[in-house]
Amino acid sequence: MTTASPGEPRWLSDEEQSVWRAYLHATTLMEDHLDRQLQRDAGMPHIYYGLLVQLSQAPRRQKRMTELAKDAKITRSRLSHAVARLEKSGWVRREDCPSDKRGQNAVLTDEGYEMLRRSAPGHVSAVRQAMFDRLTPEQMRSLGEIMQVVATGLQPEGTDADLPWLR
Amino acid sequence: MTTASPGEPRWLSDEEQSVWRAYLHATTLMEDHLDRQLQRDAGMPHIYYGLLVQLSQAPRRQKRMTELAKDAKITRSRLSHAVARLEKSGWVRREDCPSDKRGQNAVLTDEGYEMLRRSAPGHVSAVRQAMFDRLTPEQMRSLGEIMQVVATGLQPEGTDADLPWLR
DNA sequence: TCTATCTAGTTAAACTTTCAAGAAAAGGTC
DNA sequence: GACCTTTTCTTGAAAGTTTAACTAGATAGA
């Protein structure tokens, strides 16, 4: 249901190939760039940083594990490991959820918030330098639309809910 | 030189933030999607598949390790591990380089080529379905330009050569 | 030649991610 | 309540990646 029907190998045109190569190239370099920048300036990979950002924007700087995993588009297992690591670093703390004894809240600590405050300018600057400072307003708008289309197409099948929301 | 100068935290505008979120979201979903597709249909992650593609397009279906690493934008260390794994699977074989006794050539085996031939249609189909079938010709052209700009901006500093070609 | 330096590739150890399995609580349904 | 299913989160092992150190061979200069 997800992939090919045999017998009709519709290859990519030359232009499509070239766009695809550019896409892979650029996204690879970008991810490497940001991982390196954050590893250097904040001591953690990009995705971990993203988790802290999510927490910093949540109501009481905390979120249920499952919700956080969903918002960050990672598996719960991966999140468990990641939070364990962030806890060891002191940026996050776990708290039992009062209303559901199975639940855990990941809470951004003051140290975590402070770290975020310190490293955010550098990160924004890296993003801006790598992407926005190089694009015209038209290109920026266009990129937004395109990424929106692609994301929507890849969105977890169930159009509405969060049932098999990831893999 | 790479990141911020303190005192001027130029944050992202609302639109920039929205584009950036869409970018992260879409690229994450895309990478997950392709990794899953290839793990299922070819038994290897996306990047390993890319290595085989590179080899399949090289002159005698072989390449020096360093060159392959450079073309695939990964470190030599990562390539060493990857080739070890691909060798164990039988898709790739190592050969001593005749002209440089330090050198190794990674060679795509017949089995590797055959596997590629079998799984390529499904992979192309997955890419097409996730991206090209959803974009207008204008969007495709625009995406190509944008990715080109971004990649160029992140290209290893040394404008000409391959000195510190990666990290 | 002798020596210092550079390049190619590998390796070990620490870390991250994935996969499969599992414990515990919650939610039906009878 | 008893029973079955689902949801939440964790765990351990295997796979993959990163970092730094290391071996061997190539290169260049005195």
Positions of chain A with pLDDT lower than 70, given as ranges:
1-8, 156-167
The pLDDT of residue A111 is 96
Q: Are B50 and B29 in contact (CB under 8 A)?
A: no
Structure tokens at A125: 């600057």
Residues B140, A15: C-beta atoms closer than 8 Å: yes
Residues B134, A140: C-beta atoms closer than 8 Å: no
Closest CA to B119 of A17, A49, A3, A38: A3
Residue B103 identity? G
pLDDT digits (tens, 9 = 90+) for B95-123: 999 999 999 999 999 999 999 999 999 99
Quote the CA–CA distance of B83 and B103 in Å, as a whole number: 14
Residues B140, A19: C-beta atoms closer than 8 Å: yes
Quote the CA–CA distance of B45 and B51 in Å, as a whole number: 10
Q: State the nearest Cα–Cα gap between B62 and chain A, in angstroms.
A: 20
What's the CA B76/C1' D27 distance, rounded, in angstroms?
A: 21
The pLDDT of residue B164 is 40
Quote the CA–CA distance of A107 and A96 in Å, as a whole number: 10
Spell out the domain ranges in chain A: 26-153
Q: Which residues of A touch B38 (CB under 8 A)?
A: none
Q: How many residues does chain B have?
A: 167
Question: Which of A2, A9, A122 is facing B37, going by the closest CB pair?
Answer: A2
Domain range B19-153, CATH architecture: Orthogonal Bundle (1.10)
Quote the CA–CA distance of A132 and A150 in Å, as a whole number: 20
Q: State the nearest Cα–Cα gap between B42 and chain A, in angstroms.
A: 13
Structure tokens at A3: 């992939």
Query: What pTM was computed for the model?
Result: 0.88
HEC per residue, A31-67:
HHHHHHHHHHHHCCCHHHHHHHHHHHHCCCCEEEHHH
Closest CA to A26 of B42, B144, B11, B140: B144
Quote the CA–CA distance of B129 and B12 in Å, as a whole number: 32
What's the CA A66/C1' C29 distance, rounded, in angstroms?
A: 27
Question: Which of B139, B151, B153 is facing A146, going by the closest CB pair?
Answer: B139
What pLDDT band is residue B10 in, cutting at 50, 70 and 90?
A: confident
CATH annotation of A26-153: 1.10.10.10
Q: Are A125 and B10 in contact (CB under 8 A)?
A: yes
The pLDDT of residue B117 is 95
Residues B124, A41: C-beta atoms closer than 8 Å: no
Q: Among the residues of B43-89, which ranges form H helices?
A: 46-57, 65-72, 76-89
Q: State the nearest Cα–Cα gap between B23 and chain A, in angstroms.
A: 6
The H or E element spanning position A107 is strand A104-108
Quote the CA–CA distance of A93 and A153 in Å, as a whole number: 35
The pLDDT of residue A157 is 55
Q: Are A22 and B57 in contact (CB under 8 A)?
A: no
Surface-to-core class of residue A48, CB atoms within 10 Å of its CB (0-12 exposed, 13-18 middle, 19+ buried):
buried
Cβ within 7 Å of nucleic strand D, residues: A 32, 35-36, 39, 64-67, 76-77, 79-81, 83-84, 94, 97, 100, 102-104, 163; B 44-45, 47-48, 74-75, 77-78, 81-82, 85, 100-102, 167
The pLDDT of residue A160 is 34
Residues A124, B11: C-beta atoms closer than 8 Å: yes
